[in-house]
Structure formats: C-alpha cells, structure tokens
Amino acid sequence: MADTLFNLPRFAFDVADERVARAAWSRLTEPADVVAGALVDALGAGPALEWLADALQAPSDAARELSRLELGQKMARSLAGGHDSRPVSPAGVLMAGVRRWAQRLQSLDPVRDLEALDRLDGTLLVPGDPGWPTGLADLGPAAPMALWVRGQADLAGLARRSVSLVGSRASTGYGEAVTRDLAAGLSERRFTIASGGAYGIDAAAHRATLTVRGSTIVLLASGVDRLYPAANTKFMEAAFADGAVVSEVPPGSVPFRQRFLARNRVIAALGRATVVVEAARRSGALSTANHATALARPVGAVPGPVTSMASTGCHDLLRSGAAVCVTDAAEAAELAGSLTTDAAPEQVTEPRPGDDLDPTARRVLDALPVRQAAPIESVATVAGLSIPEVRAKLGGLLITGLAEKEAGRWRRALQGTKK
C-alpha cells in the first residue's frame, strides 16, 4: 500500500513480556532517545512495539491514533528538544522516530540478546524490578529502557549510598593520587564508587575501590560482553564480586562517542553526589557534572595546580559556583550525605576534525566504517537514523573531507580536511 513505510512481518517474540519488549527497545533505539522513552511511558513497552508495527504499515492511521496518547504541547516540545513556545506536533515528532527505528527492525531479536546475557551470567533490569535504581526516574523520558548487568543485580542497593568519581582520561599523577585517596576513603565509609571504566581518573577510582575491597559500578558505552577498553578488563571482571558492570545497550553493541556522552547522564543519576577530580575544559567529565546539576544532585570539584591545564575544567566549575570544593574523602562524604537518593561520571576529547558537527552528523560519522565502504542502508542501521537523515548529512561530510564515497558506498576518510 502507498501509505506503508516499511514492509515488516509481525514480531517473532512475545511483545506482552515486559522484559523482552524493553530488551527490544534497547536494541531499536540509541541511549537517551526521549521520543521512544515518552512513547513507552505513554503506552507500555509491548503496546508501544505494536503501535510501531502499525505505524510502519499505516502511518496515517497510527498518527490519528496518537490523540489518545495525551502527549501535550509541552511534552512534544520536550521530545523535539526545543525550548520555544511555538506549537510542536507530537505526531510529527513520533513519526520521525518511527523512521529512525525502522532501520533496525528487520534484524531485531531480543530473545537472542537475552540468551547472550544468560551465557554471561548477567541480569536484565527493567523499571519496577527491586534492583532498579529509583533515581533513574529523574531522567524522565531519557531514562534507560533497561539495564544489562553483570555482577550484583541489586543496583538499587549499590546506588543507595554512592558517589560518582569522574575525570579526564588524560590524567596526571596528581589527579590519580587524589582519586585513589578519595575512592579508598569513601569505600571505607561504605560508599559505592560509580564511574565509567575509562583510562585515567575512572580507572584509578575503580582500582582503588577494589584494593580496599569496596563496591564499584562500571558504566559502559558498549555491551557488557565487550569490556571496553580492553586494557581495563581485569578490574572490570573483579568488580563482578561486590559491584557491577552495567550498560544500557545489548550484548554485541560497540562503543562510540555519542554512547559515551549519553551514558554520562546515567552515571549522574546513579550517585548521591558527583565529584570531578581532574578535568580540562573539554573533558567529558564536565558533561556528567552538568547532568548531575540538572538532576539536582550535588557536584564537587577538586582544585588542582593553577598552572595545570588538566584542572581548568574543575577550576571553572568552582569559579562559577557550579561545584563546591572537595579536597578529601570526608568532604566528598559530606557532599553525598546532603541528599537521600542518587548521582554521577565521565568522558574526554581534544580538538579534531568533526568536533563542530551537529549531533545527527556526528552519529553518521561514527557509523561510517574505517576500512571497507558500506551502503547507505548499512550506515543508517548502525547510526539508528533513517536513510533520508543519513543521506542529508553524508554530502556535508564528503565536502569537509570527513567521508569518502566509493562506487556508491561510504566510509570514513583516513584524515579529514575540516578546519
């Protein structure tokens, strides 16, 4: 039929099973997809999948059905990411989402993903489970669809008394020493340490916690079967005993920049406070601090030498009043003790071609293969975007030297020429 967007058979799994349905949504969408989150909140995970299938077969009928979802103009503006007062159509926002999600529907198999998790002795947590951290509700429609966990499944218990220690990958000896003191001191006070498992400050926080037999939560941007970076595998595996390794994307998922940035909001929502130990002005740890502030979680920052570029981000937080000064574990514990629920972690970059791309173009660039060129359909599937969205961005990436076209296929350029 002319109205059909996508030729899709009905689902080969039980959409009425909440766990299976949420596993499916975590595969269909990228983290922090507020459009999908609002749809699932409005209908439930299973009915939302059924609505999606109907929307693909008969878009106009599905759009008319949206009137019963009761998504008002305020919610619609939130979904669209805008802040102005002009009317935004909930139907338009959701149908744009449908086109994005359609790229991954043909290969969707949440049962296979759950079986892969079982082989890892892992657990899938969904909202309403006893182990689901209640603080994640503060993320609203940006909350994870589900959490894929290896280790202790009671994340709610781990997060109940927790501090997120975050900072730069390009850490200094000073930053790592302070991190070790903070992590060890907080662990001795029975706080769980949350961070992102990356090099630098994250790794120092996790290792120091494990050294004093404390509990740590490692938040990944990849699936829990891909402990990334591989050099940190040893301490991540050690975290299984009294802590957890957690992801919001299914097994087999690879890490890329947008997933690192998106996972920072989860780290911020898991802790009772966030402490930025060492961060330059461009450190991804600052995005975690911003998320914590938006969630009304306390934020602390450790001052560094005034001559150190590695601490300029921390100094900016302190100077602007966005963070309070933290110099030892007692002060970090005091900061976390001022709240009774959740908060915080990490990520970094230096100036490079593509830094000024808009979020959609960045996702397309991240999805391009480095070696063997891929068709546009494959790029759309990896990026979680519709084919028209990908096509609209590839031209700009080609002009700026960030992408190359070869016989109708696309790949990332070895060196971009963007100024």
Q: Cβ distance 224 to 245 under 8 Å? A: yes
Question: Cβ contacts of residue 85 below 8 Å, gap of 6+?
Answer: none
Domain 359-412 has CATH 3.30.70.640: no
Q: Please, which residues have CB within 8 angstroms of residue 319's CB and are 6 or more apart in sequence?
A: none
Query: Does the fold of domain 359-412 match that of domain 120-336?
Result: no
Q: Does the pLDDT of residue 87 top 60, yes or no?
A: no
CB 254 within 8 A of CB 226: yes
Strand order in the sheet with 147-151: 123-125, 147-151, 244-247, 216-219, 192-195, 162-167, 274-278, 299-301, 324-325
Per-residue pLDDT tens over the stretch 33-85 = 998 998 898 889 999 999 898 888 877 666 666 665 555 444 455 555 544 44
The closest of 171, 172, 216 to 197, measured between CA atoms, is 216
- 217's enclosing H/E stretch is strand 216-219
pLDDT score, position 414: 74
Domain residues of the chain, as ranges?
18-113, 120-336, 359-412
Q: How confident is the model at residue 205 (pLDDT cuts 50, 70, 90)?
A: very high
- Cβ contact 225:255 at 8 Å: no
| Per-residue pLDDT at 247 exceeds 50 | yes
pLDDT of residue 325: 97
Residue 353: predicted pLDDT: 63
Question: pLDDT at position 76, please?
Answer: 56
> Do 159 and 192 form a contact (C-beta atoms < 8 A)?
yes
Across 283-287, 348-352, 415-419, least confident range? 415-419
Q: Please provide the DSSP assignment of 141-185 as one string.
A: GGS-S-EEEEE-S-HHHHHTTEEEEEE-SS--HHHHHHHHHHHHH
Contact 65, 34 (CB under 8 A): no
Question: What's the longest Cα–Cα distance across the chain?
Answer: 67
Structure tokens at 7: 């030729």
Distances (CA, A) of 113 to 20, 177, 233, 260, 345: 9, 40, 21, 21, 27
The pLDDT value given to residue 17:
95
Mean pLDDT of 196-201: 95
| pLDDT at 366 (0 to 100) | 87
At residue 90 the predicted structure's pLDDT band, cuts being 50, 70 and 90, is: low
120-336 belongs to CATH 1.10.10.10: no
The CA angle 142-245-340, to the nearest 5 degrees, is: 60
